[in-house]
Amino acid sequence: MRISLLFLFIVTTTVAHARPGDLPLLHATRGIHAGLYDPQGRYVLLRGANYNALGEYWQGVPGVPTTKQYEDSDFILMEHYGFNCVRLLFTWSRVEPQRGHYDTAYVKRICHAVEVAAQHNIYVLLDMHQDAWGMYVATGDTEQCPRGPAKGWDGAPRWATLTDGQPTCTTRGRESAPAVIRAFSNFWDNRDSLQQDCIRAWTMIVSATARYTNVLGYDLINEPGLGERSVVREDRLIGRYYNHLIHAIREAERLAGAPEHVILFEPTVTWRGKDYPSIPFTSFRPEKNIMFSPHHYFESLSHALSIEQGFGLMRFGASLYHTDLLIGEWGFFQGARDTLKLSRYTRCEDRYLIGSTWWQWSQACGDPHSVSWSGKQWQAGNFSMHLIELDRQGHRTGKVNEAALHILNRSRPLAIAGRAKGFTSDPNTGEMLLKGRTHHPGTVIIYIPARFGTPVLNGHNAVISHTEAISGGLRVEVSVKGSYMIHILRSQNLQSVLTQ
Protein backbone atom coordinates (compact mmCIF):
# COMPACT_ATOMS: atom_id res chain seq x y z
CA MET A 1 0.00 0.00 0.00
CA ARG A 2 1.32 3.46 -0.88
CA ILE A 3 0.56 6.26 1.54
CA SER A 4 1.22 9.99 1.78
CA LEU A 5 2.40 11.34 5.11
CA LEU A 6 2.33 15.03 6.03
CA PHE A 7 3.73 16.54 9.17
CA LEU A 8 4.39 19.98 10.52
CA PHE A 9 6.97 21.00 13.05
CA ILE A 10 7.72 24.09 15.05
CA VAL A 11 11.35 24.99 15.76
CA THR A 12 11.30 26.16 19.34
CA THR A 13 13.87 28.28 21.11
CA THR A 14 14.49 25.59 23.73
CA VAL A 15 15.81 22.15 22.90
CA ALA A 16 16.10 19.31 25.41
CA HIS A 17 19.71 18.27 25.96
CA ALA A 18 20.88 14.72 26.43
CA ARG A 19 22.78 13.67 29.51
CA PRO A 20 26.08 11.74 29.33
CA GLY A 21 24.30 8.40 29.75
CA ASP A 22 21.36 9.06 27.45
CA LEU A 23 22.93 8.04 24.15
CA PRO A 24 22.87 4.26 23.77
CA LEU A 25 26.15 2.37 23.60
CA LEU A 26 26.93 1.25 20.05
CA HIS A 27 28.63 -1.96 18.99
CA ALA A 28 30.20 -3.23 15.78
CA THR A 29 29.76 -6.63 14.16
CA ARG A 30 31.81 -8.58 11.66
CA GLY A 31 30.67 -10.97 8.98
CA ILE A 32 28.07 -10.87 6.21
CA HIS A 33 26.10 -8.12 7.96
CA ALA A 34 29.08 -6.19 9.32
CA GLY A 35 28.01 -2.84 10.68
CA LEU A 36 27.60 -0.45 13.57
CA TYR A 37 24.44 -1.11 15.60
CA ASP A 38 22.48 0.27 18.52
CA PRO A 39 20.98 -1.91 21.30
CA GLN A 40 17.79 -2.35 19.21
CA GLY A 41 19.79 -3.88 16.38
CA ARG A 42 19.42 -0.88 14.07
CA TYR A 43 22.23 0.07 11.72
CA VAL A 44 23.66 3.41 12.87
CA LEU A 45 25.05 6.04 10.50
CA LEU A 46 27.52 8.52 12.04
CA ARG A 47 28.65 11.67 10.29
CA GLY A 48 30.79 14.38 11.84
CA ALA A 49 34.17 16.10 12.00
CA ASN A 50 37.62 15.87 13.54
CA TYR A 51 38.28 18.22 16.47
CA ASN A 52 41.90 18.86 17.48
CA ALA A 53 41.52 21.61 20.11
CA LEU A 54 42.93 19.26 22.78
CA GLY A 55 45.94 18.19 20.72
CA GLU A 56 49.53 19.43 21.04
CA TYR A 57 51.47 20.51 17.96
CA TRP A 58 54.89 21.86 17.05
CA GLN A 59 54.82 25.65 16.93
CA GLY A 60 56.79 27.17 14.07
CA VAL A 61 55.54 30.76 14.37
CA PRO A 62 55.89 32.26 17.86
CA GLY A 63 52.73 33.84 19.20
CA VAL A 64 50.44 32.10 16.71
CA PRO A 65 48.46 29.26 18.33
CA THR A 66 48.65 25.81 16.77
CA THR A 67 45.08 24.86 17.70
CA LYS A 68 41.80 26.56 18.34
CA GLN A 69 41.08 27.07 22.01
CA TYR A 70 38.65 24.43 23.22
CA GLU A 71 35.08 25.74 23.66
CA ASP A 72 31.92 23.90 24.70
CA SER A 73 30.07 25.96 22.10
CA ASP A 74 31.83 24.07 19.29
CA PHE A 75 29.62 21.09 20.08
CA ILE A 76 26.54 23.33 19.95
CA LEU A 77 27.54 24.34 16.41
CA MET A 78 28.26 20.76 15.41
CA GLU A 79 24.81 19.71 16.55
CA HIS A 80 23.30 22.65 14.70
CA TYR A 81 24.87 21.42 11.46
CA GLY A 82 23.56 17.91 11.97
CA PHE A 83 26.77 16.21 13.12
CA ASN A 84 26.28 13.25 15.44
CA CYS A 85 29.92 12.19 15.76
CA VAL A 86 33.24 13.85 16.56
CA ARG A 87 36.68 12.32 16.23
CA LEU A 88 38.29 13.86 19.30
CA LEU A 89 42.06 14.07 18.98
CA PHE A 90 44.38 13.74 21.95
CA THR A 91 48.15 13.35 22.04
CA TRP A 92 50.47 11.08 23.99
CA SER A 93 52.76 14.07 24.64
CA ARG A 94 50.04 15.68 26.75
CA VAL A 95 48.86 12.52 28.50
CA GLU A 96 52.42 11.63 29.61
CA PRO A 97 54.72 14.67 29.25
CA GLN A 98 57.35 13.02 31.48
CA ARG A 99 57.83 9.30 31.53
CA GLY A 100 55.61 7.72 34.15
CA HIS A 101 53.94 11.03 35.07
CA TYR A 102 50.43 11.53 33.74
CA ASP A 103 48.60 14.81 33.38
CA THR A 104 45.35 14.07 35.19
CA ALA A 105 44.04 17.58 34.50
CA TYR A 106 44.38 16.88 30.77
CA VAL A 107 42.52 13.59 31.13
CA LYS A 108 39.73 15.46 32.93
CA ARG A 109 39.53 17.93 30.02
CA ILE A 110 38.99 14.99 27.67
CA CYS A 111 36.23 13.66 29.93
CA HIS A 112 34.62 17.09 30.04
CA ALA A 113 34.57 17.25 26.24
CA VAL A 114 32.94 13.81 26.10
CA GLU A 115 30.26 14.93 28.56
CA VAL A 116 29.49 18.11 26.63
CA ALA A 117 29.32 16.16 23.38
CA ALA A 118 26.73 13.86 24.97
CA GLN A 119 24.60 16.85 25.92
CA HIS A 120 24.41 17.64 22.20
CA ASN A 121 23.69 14.08 21.02
CA ILE A 122 27.20 13.56 19.66
CA TYR A 123 29.18 10.33 19.80
CA VAL A 124 32.92 10.62 20.45
CA LEU A 125 35.63 8.62 18.73
CA LEU A 126 38.79 8.99 20.83
CA ASP A 127 41.85 9.16 18.61
CA MET A 128 45.45 8.97 19.85
CA HIS A 129 46.75 11.27 17.16
CA GLN A 130 50.20 11.52 15.66
CA ASP A 131 51.64 12.90 12.45
CA ALA A 132 55.24 12.10 11.47
CA TRP A 133 55.81 10.77 14.99
CA GLY A 134 55.74 14.02 16.95
CA MET A 135 56.83 17.57 17.69
CA TYR A 136 60.41 16.70 18.44
CA VAL A 137 61.63 15.76 14.98
CA ALA A 138 61.65 19.36 13.80
CA THR A 139 64.92 20.68 12.39
CA GLY A 140 67.11 22.20 15.09
CA ASP A 141 69.17 25.37 14.89
CA THR A 142 72.40 23.52 14.02
CA GLU A 143 71.00 21.30 11.26
CA GLN A 144 70.86 22.49 7.65
CA CYS A 145 68.35 21.11 5.16
CA PRO A 146 68.73 21.62 1.39
CA ARG A 147 65.01 22.34 1.00
CA GLY A 148 64.70 24.35 4.17
CA PRO A 149 64.10 23.14 7.72
CA ALA A 150 61.60 20.38 8.42
CA LYS A 151 58.48 20.97 10.47
CA GLY A 152 57.67 19.11 13.61
CA TRP A 153 54.19 17.69 13.98
CA ASP A 154 52.33 16.02 16.85
CA GLY A 155 52.16 12.80 18.81
CA ALA A 156 54.89 11.33 20.99
CA PRO A 157 56.55 13.12 23.91
CA ARG A 158 60.19 14.13 23.73
CA TRP A 159 61.37 11.27 25.96
CA ALA A 160 59.75 8.72 23.60
CA THR A 161 61.32 10.20 20.45
CA LEU A 162 64.31 7.95 19.78
CA THR A 163 65.89 9.02 16.49
CA ASP A 164 69.53 8.00 17.13
CA GLY A 165 70.66 11.32 15.70
CA GLN A 166 69.20 10.68 12.24
CA PRO A 167 68.61 13.79 10.08
CA THR A 168 65.26 15.53 10.34
CA CYS A 169 65.33 16.85 6.76
CA THR A 170 62.55 15.52 4.54
CA THR A 171 63.07 14.35 0.98
CA ARG A 172 59.54 13.88 -0.37
CA GLY A 173 57.01 14.52 2.40
CA ARG A 174 56.60 14.87 6.14
CA GLU A 175 57.08 11.14 6.82
CA SER A 176 60.29 10.88 4.78
CA ALA A 177 62.76 12.33 7.28
CA PRO A 178 65.23 9.64 8.46
CA ALA A 179 64.55 10.76 12.05
CA VAL A 180 60.84 10.01 11.65
CA ILE A 181 61.49 6.61 10.08
CA ARG A 182 63.95 5.67 12.85
CA ALA A 183 61.51 6.78 15.56
CA PHE A 184 58.86 4.48 14.12
CA SER A 185 61.35 1.62 13.76
CA ASN A 186 62.38 1.94 17.38
CA PHE A 187 58.75 1.95 18.48
CA TRP A 188 57.76 -1.15 16.48
CA ASP A 189 60.92 -2.86 17.81
CA ASN A 190 59.69 -1.89 21.31
CA ARG A 191 63.03 -0.38 22.15
CA ASP A 192 63.30 0.67 25.77
CA SER A 193 59.75 -0.74 26.30
CA LEU A 194 58.18 2.26 24.56
CA GLN A 195 55.11 0.26 23.57
CA GLN A 196 54.30 -0.57 27.17
CA ASP A 197 54.51 3.14 28.02
CA CYS A 198 52.17 4.09 25.18
CA ILE A 199 49.74 1.33 26.13
CA ARG A 200 49.68 2.55 29.74
CA ALA A 201 48.91 6.08 28.51
CA TRP A 202 46.06 4.68 26.43
CA THR A 203 44.63 2.78 29.38
CA MET A 204 44.63 6.01 31.42
CA ILE A 205 42.25 7.45 28.83
CA VAL A 206 40.14 4.30 28.62
CA SER A 207 39.80 3.99 32.39
CA ALA A 208 38.55 7.57 32.57
CA THR A 209 36.13 7.42 29.62
CA ALA A 210 34.84 3.85 29.47
CA ARG A 211 31.76 4.66 31.56
CA TYR A 212 30.42 7.06 28.92
CA THR A 213 27.94 5.44 26.56
CA ASN A 214 28.44 8.18 23.97
CA VAL A 215 32.07 7.11 23.56
CA LEU A 216 31.87 5.26 20.26
CA GLY A 217 35.28 3.73 20.70
CA TYR A 218 39.04 3.99 20.43
CA ASP A 219 41.11 4.69 17.31
CA LEU A 220 44.37 2.91 18.12
CA ILE A 221 46.84 5.20 16.32
CA ASN A 222 46.45 7.79 13.60
CA GLU A 223 48.19 7.17 10.26
CA PRO A 224 51.07 5.02 11.52
CA GLY A 225 54.20 4.70 9.44
CA LEU A 226 56.26 1.55 8.99
CA GLY A 227 59.95 1.70 9.80
CA GLU A 228 63.16 0.72 8.08
CA ARG A 229 63.07 -3.08 7.99
CA SER A 230 61.29 -5.32 5.49
CA VAL A 231 57.58 -4.80 4.93
CA VAL A 232 56.80 -8.31 6.16
CA ARG A 233 58.65 -7.72 9.42
CA GLU A 234 57.21 -4.26 10.05
CA ASP A 235 53.72 -5.47 9.18
CA ARG A 236 54.02 -8.30 11.68
CA LEU A 237 55.23 -5.95 14.41
CA ILE A 238 52.40 -3.45 14.02
CA GLY A 239 49.88 -6.30 14.08
CA ARG A 240 51.41 -7.56 17.30
CA TYR A 241 51.19 -4.09 18.82
CA TYR A 242 47.52 -3.78 17.84
CA ASN A 243 46.81 -7.10 19.58
CA HIS A 244 48.58 -6.04 22.79
CA LEU A 245 46.88 -2.63 22.83
CA ILE A 246 43.40 -4.07 22.25
CA HIS A 247 43.92 -6.57 25.05
CA ALA A 248 44.97 -3.74 27.40
CA ILE A 249 41.96 -1.64 26.42
CA ARG A 250 39.61 -4.52 27.14
CA GLU A 251 41.24 -5.12 30.50
CA ALA A 252 40.93 -1.42 31.39
CA GLU A 253 37.23 -1.51 30.50
CA ARG A 254 36.74 -4.60 32.63
CA LEU A 255 38.50 -3.09 35.63
CA ALA A 256 36.38 0.05 35.24
CA GLY A 257 33.23 -2.08 35.32
CA ALA A 258 32.33 -0.69 31.91
CA PRO A 259 31.07 -2.37 28.72
CA GLU A 260 33.27 -2.83 25.68
CA HIS A 261 33.49 -0.04 23.14
CA VAL A 262 34.29 -0.27 19.44
CA ILE A 263 37.93 -0.63 18.40
CA LEU A 264 38.91 1.22 15.22
CA PHE A 265 42.12 0.43 13.38
CA GLU A 266 43.82 2.14 10.45
CA PRO A 267 46.20 1.10 7.70
CA THR A 268 49.75 2.40 7.70
CA VAL A 269 50.46 5.33 5.38
CA THR A 270 54.18 4.91 4.71
CA TRP A 271 57.03 2.42 4.67
CA ARG A 272 60.56 3.84 4.86
CA GLY A 273 58.92 7.25 4.43
CA LYS A 274 57.35 6.40 1.07
CA ASP A 275 53.64 6.12 0.36
CA TYR A 276 52.83 2.51 1.13
CA PRO A 277 49.42 1.80 2.62
CA SER A 278 49.38 -1.55 4.38
CA ILE A 279 47.19 -3.42 6.83
CA PRO A 280 48.59 -6.16 9.10
CA PHE A 281 47.72 -9.75 8.28
CA THR A 282 50.23 -12.16 9.68
CA SER A 283 49.85 -11.38 13.39
CA PHE A 284 46.74 -9.25 13.80
CA ARG A 285 43.71 -11.12 15.14
CA PRO A 286 40.75 -8.74 15.08
CA GLU A 287 37.91 -9.33 17.50
CA LYS A 288 34.21 -8.94 16.80
CA ASN A 289 33.63 -5.39 18.12
CA ILE A 290 35.92 -3.68 15.62
CA MET A 291 35.81 -1.48 12.50
CA PHE A 292 38.23 -0.56 9.74
CA SER A 293 38.88 3.19 9.70
CA PRO A 294 41.02 4.33 6.75
CA HIS A 295 41.35 7.91 5.49
CA HIS A 296 40.09 8.98 2.06
CA TYR A 297 42.02 11.80 0.40
CA PHE A 298 41.84 10.69 -3.23
CA GLU A 299 41.43 13.63 -5.63
CA SER A 300 42.31 15.81 -2.64
CA LEU A 301 45.79 15.20 -1.22
CA SER A 302 46.43 12.19 -3.46
CA HIS A 303 45.66 11.62 -7.12
CA ALA A 304 46.64 7.97 -7.26
CA LEU A 305 42.96 6.96 -7.53
CA SER A 306 39.64 8.60 -8.25
CA ILE A 307 37.14 9.25 -5.48
CA GLU A 308 35.08 6.28 -6.60
CA GLN A 309 38.12 3.98 -6.86
CA GLY A 310 39.14 5.06 -3.38
CA PHE A 311 35.83 3.87 -1.99
CA GLY A 312 36.30 0.59 -3.80
CA LEU A 313 39.75 0.13 -2.28
CA MET A 314 38.56 0.89 1.24
CA ARG A 315 35.54 -1.38 0.99
CA PHE A 316 37.87 -4.13 -0.22
CA GLY A 317 40.17 -3.52 2.77
CA ALA A 318 37.21 -3.82 5.15
CA SER A 319 36.07 -7.02 3.43
CA LEU A 320 39.43 -8.66 4.14
CA TYR A 321 38.64 -8.38 7.85
CA HIS A 322 34.88 -8.79 7.43
CA THR A 323 34.27 -5.43 9.15
CA ASP A 324 32.29 -2.30 8.44
CA LEU A 325 33.88 1.03 7.47
CA LEU A 326 34.06 4.36 9.22
CA ILE A 327 36.23 6.82 7.31
CA GLY A 328 38.17 8.70 9.98
CA GLU A 329 39.41 11.53 7.77
CA TRP A 330 38.48 13.01 4.42
CA GLY A 331 38.16 16.46 2.97
CA PHE A 332 38.63 18.87 0.09
CA PHE A 333 40.39 22.14 0.75
CA GLN A 334 39.86 24.43 -2.23
CA GLY A 335 36.54 25.87 -1.07
CA ALA A 336 33.80 26.29 -3.64
CA ARG A 337 36.11 24.96 -6.37
CA ASP A 338 35.82 21.51 -4.80
CA THR A 339 32.02 21.42 -4.72
CA LEU A 340 31.71 18.88 -7.53
CA LYS A 341 34.27 16.57 -5.92
CA LEU A 342 32.57 16.89 -2.56
CA SER A 343 29.23 16.01 -4.16
CA ARG A 344 30.71 12.92 -5.82
CA TYR A 345 32.24 11.85 -2.54
CA THR A 346 29.01 12.21 -0.57
CA ARG A 347 27.04 10.33 -3.21
CA CYS A 348 29.44 7.41 -2.70
CA GLU A 349 29.20 7.45 1.09
CA ASP A 350 25.40 7.61 0.84
CA ARG A 351 25.30 4.79 -1.68
CA TYR A 352 27.35 2.53 0.58
CA LEU A 353 25.94 3.95 3.87
CA ILE A 354 29.40 4.70 5.22
CA GLY A 355 30.02 6.88 8.27
CA SER A 356 32.77 9.49 8.28
CA THR A 357 34.40 12.41 10.06
CA TRP A 358 35.55 15.38 7.97
CA TRP A 359 39.08 16.77 8.40
CA GLN A 360 38.59 19.04 10.20
CA TRP A 361 36.28 21.31 12.21
CA SER A 362 38.80 24.15 12.42
CA GLN A 363 42.51 24.54 11.69
CA ALA A 364 44.53 27.23 13.41
CA CYS A 365 46.87 29.48 11.47
CA GLY A 366 49.81 28.12 13.46
CA ASP A 367 48.95 24.46 12.82
CA PRO A 368 51.87 22.71 11.06
CA HIS A 369 49.50 22.01 8.17
CA SER A 370 49.05 25.78 7.77
CA VAL A 371 52.55 27.24 8.12
CA SER A 372 55.05 27.60 5.29
CA TRP A 373 58.77 28.35 4.95
CA SER A 374 59.61 31.74 3.43
CA GLY A 375 63.29 30.96 2.90
CA LYS A 376 64.15 32.77 6.11
CA GLN A 377 61.44 31.88 8.62
CA TRP A 378 58.17 30.08 9.13
CA GLN A 379 55.10 32.06 8.17
CA ALA A 380 51.41 31.84 9.05
CA GLY A 381 48.39 33.47 7.48
CA ASN A 382 45.90 35.76 9.17
CA PHE A 383 42.89 33.48 8.66
CA SER A 384 42.31 29.77 8.26
CA MET A 385 39.13 28.14 7.00
CA HIS A 386 38.17 24.48 7.24
CA LEU A 387 34.54 24.27 8.33
CA ILE A 388 34.80 27.12 10.84
CA GLU A 389 37.09 30.06 10.09
CA LEU A 390 39.69 31.11 12.67
CA ASP A 391 41.72 34.30 12.90
CA ARG A 392 45.45 34.45 13.58
CA GLN A 393 44.89 34.10 17.33
CA GLY A 394 42.74 31.00 16.94
CA HIS A 395 39.38 32.67 17.55
CA ARG A 396 36.25 32.05 15.49
CA THR A 397 35.54 34.87 13.07
CA GLY A 398 31.89 33.95 12.58
CA LYS A 399 32.44 32.81 8.99
CA VAL A 400 31.84 29.20 8.00
CA ASN A 401 32.56 27.06 4.96
CA GLU A 402 29.12 27.40 3.42
CA ALA A 403 29.97 25.34 0.33
CA ALA A 404 31.01 22.30 2.36
CA LEU A 405 28.42 22.58 5.12
CA HIS A 406 25.62 22.90 2.57
CA ILE A 407 26.49 19.41 1.30
CA LEU A 408 27.51 17.84 4.61
CA ASN A 409 24.31 18.92 6.36
CA ARG A 410 21.76 16.92 4.37
CA SER A 411 18.83 14.66 5.20
CA ARG A 412 19.84 11.17 6.26
CA PRO A 413 18.84 8.19 8.39
CA LEU A 414 20.44 8.02 11.82
CA ALA A 415 19.30 4.48 12.65
CA ILE A 416 17.90 1.92 10.20
CA ALA A 417 15.71 -1.07 11.04
CA GLY A 418 16.53 -4.26 9.15
CA ARG A 419 18.74 -4.01 6.06
CA ALA A 420 19.02 -0.94 3.89
CA LYS A 421 18.53 -1.65 0.18
CA GLY A 422 19.30 1.80 -1.17
CA PHE A 423 19.81 5.38 -0.03
CA THR A 424 20.15 8.73 -1.78
CA SER A 425 19.98 12.29 -0.47
CA ASP A 426 19.95 15.63 -2.32
CA PRO A 427 21.54 18.47 -0.30
CA ASN A 428 19.98 21.09 -2.57
CA THR A 429 16.35 20.08 -2.19
CA GLY A 430 16.20 17.92 0.93
CA GLU A 431 14.80 15.02 -1.06
CA MET A 432 15.80 11.68 0.41
CA LEU A 433 14.98 8.09 -0.51
CA LEU A 434 15.60 5.11 1.75
CA LYS A 435 14.62 1.56 0.86
CA GLY A 436 14.94 -1.32 3.28
CA ARG A 437 13.65 -4.63 4.46
CA THR A 438 13.04 -5.87 7.98
CA HIS A 439 11.81 -9.26 9.20
CA HIS A 440 10.26 -7.67 12.27
CA PRO A 441 8.43 -4.33 12.70
CA GLY A 442 10.90 -1.64 13.65
CA THR A 443 11.70 2.06 13.66
CA VAL A 444 13.85 4.19 11.36
CA ILE A 445 15.14 7.50 12.73
CA ILE A 446 15.68 10.30 10.23
CA TYR A 447 17.40 13.67 10.54
CA ILE A 448 16.11 16.54 8.38
CA PRO A 449 17.90 19.95 8.34
CA ALA A 450 15.75 22.95 9.24
CA ARG A 451 16.56 24.78 5.99
CA PHE A 452 14.25 22.46 4.06
CA GLY A 453 11.20 23.80 5.84
CA THR A 454 8.18 21.53 6.22
CA PRO A 455 8.98 18.16 4.62
CA VAL A 456 6.51 15.84 2.91
CA LEU A 457 6.97 12.10 3.23
CA ASN A 458 5.69 9.43 0.86
CA GLY A 459 6.34 5.74 1.22
CA HIS A 460 4.98 2.28 1.75
CA ASN A 461 4.99 0.10 4.85
CA ALA A 462 6.07 3.25 6.71
CA VAL A 463 4.18 5.39 9.22
CA ILE A 464 5.45 8.37 11.17
CA SER A 465 5.26 7.61 14.88
CA HIS A 466 7.01 10.65 16.37
CA THR A 467 8.58 13.96 15.38
CA GLU A 468 10.77 16.19 17.49
CA ALA A 469 12.35 19.59 16.91
CA ILE A 470 16.08 19.45 17.60
CA SER A 471 18.87 21.94 17.17
CA GLY A 472 19.18 22.68 13.47
CA GLY A 473 16.33 20.52 12.26
CA LEU A 474 13.92 17.72 12.89
CA ARG A 475 14.21 14.17 14.22
CA VAL A 476 11.58 11.87 12.74
CA GLU A 477 10.75 8.33 13.86
CA VAL A 478 9.13 6.17 11.19
CA SER A 479 7.60 2.77 12.01
CA VAL A 480 8.36 0.27 9.25
CA LYS A 481 7.69 -3.37 8.40
CA GLY A 482 8.56 -5.81 5.62
CA SER A 483 9.92 -4.20 2.47
CA TYR A 484 9.59 -0.48 3.08
CA MET A 485 10.31 2.80 1.35
CA ILE A 486 10.66 6.24 2.93
CA HIS A 487 10.69 9.07 0.41
CA ILE A 488 11.10 12.66 1.57
CA LEU A 489 9.84 14.98 -1.15
CA ARG A 490 10.84 18.54 -1.85
CA SER A 491 9.19 20.88 0.62
CA GLN A 492 7.83 23.05 -2.20
CA ASN A 493 5.63 20.11 -3.21
CA LEU A 494 3.54 20.65 -0.10
CA GLN A 495 0.84 22.77 -1.76
CA SER A 496 0.31 20.36 -4.65
CA VAL A 497 -0.09 17.45 -2.25
CA LEU A 498 -2.59 19.39 -0.12
CA THR A 499 -4.77 20.16 -3.15
CA GLN A 500 -4.92 16.58 -4.48
pLDDT of the chain along its 500 residues, tens only? 333 332 222 222 233 445 655 899 999 999 999 999 999 999 999 999 999 999 999 999 999 999 999 999 999 999 999 999 999 999 999 999 999 999 999 999 999 999 999 999 999 999 999 999 999 999 988 888 988 899 999 999 999 999 999 999 998 889 999 999 999 999 999 999 999 999 999 999 999 999 999 999 999 999 999 999 999 999 999 999 999 999 999 999 999 999 999 999 999 999 999 998 888 888 898 899 999 999 999 999 999 999 999 999 999 999 999 999 999 999 999 988 899 999 999 999 999 999 999 999 999 999 999 999 999 999 999 999 999 999 999 999 999 999 999 999 999 999 999 999 999 999 999 999 999 999 999 999 999 999 998 778 888 999 999 999 999 999 999 999 999 999 998 655 433 332 23
Helices 339-351 and 307-321, packing angle to 10 deg: 30
- Do 451 and 339 share a domain, yes or no? no
Judge whether 224 lies within some domain. yes
Domain boundary (409, 434, 461) is at 409
- Do 208 and 157 share a domain, yes or no? yes
40 Ramachandran zone, left/alpha/beta (phi>0; psi -120 to 50): alpha
- Do 64 and 178 share a domain, yes or no? yes
Judge whether 30 lies within some domain. no
Domain boundary (393, 409, 425) is at 409
- Do 431 and 401 share a domain, yes or no? no
Judge whether 433 lies within some domain. yes
- Do 182 and 328 share a domain, yes or no? yes
In this prediction the pTM is 0.94
Q: What's the domain count of the chain?
A: 2
What pLDDT does 453 receive?
A: 83
What pLDDT does 88 receive?
A: 99
- Do 341 and 489 share a domain, yes or no? no
Quick one: which of 127, 135, 126 has its CA closest to 159?
135
- Do 186 and 261 share a domain, yes or no? yes
- Do 399 and 423 share a domain, yes or no? no
Give the domain CATH number at 95.
Answer: 3.20.20.80
- Do 125 and 229 share a domain, yes or no? yes
- Do 131 and 197 share a domain, yes or no? yes
Judge whether 20 lies within some domain. no
Judge whether 277 lies within some domain. yes
- Do 106 and 152 share a domain, yes or no? yes
Domain of 209? Answer: 45-409
Judge whether 391 lies within some domain. yes
Inter-residue contact 299 to 307 (CB < 8 Å): yes
Locate the DSSP E strands across 341-411.
Answer: 355-358, 372-373, 378-379, 383-385, 388-391, 396-400
DSSP structural state of residue 284: -
Whole-number Å distance between alpha carbons of 338 and 225: 29
Judge whether 185 lies within some domain. yes
Domain boundary (409, 439, 457) is at 409
What pLDDT does 141 receive?
A: 83
Q: How far is CA 455 from CA 402, 431, 447, in A?
A: 22, 9, 11
- Do 67 and 200 share a domain, yes or no? yes
Judge whether 444 lies within some domain. yes
Cα 69 off chain centre by: 19
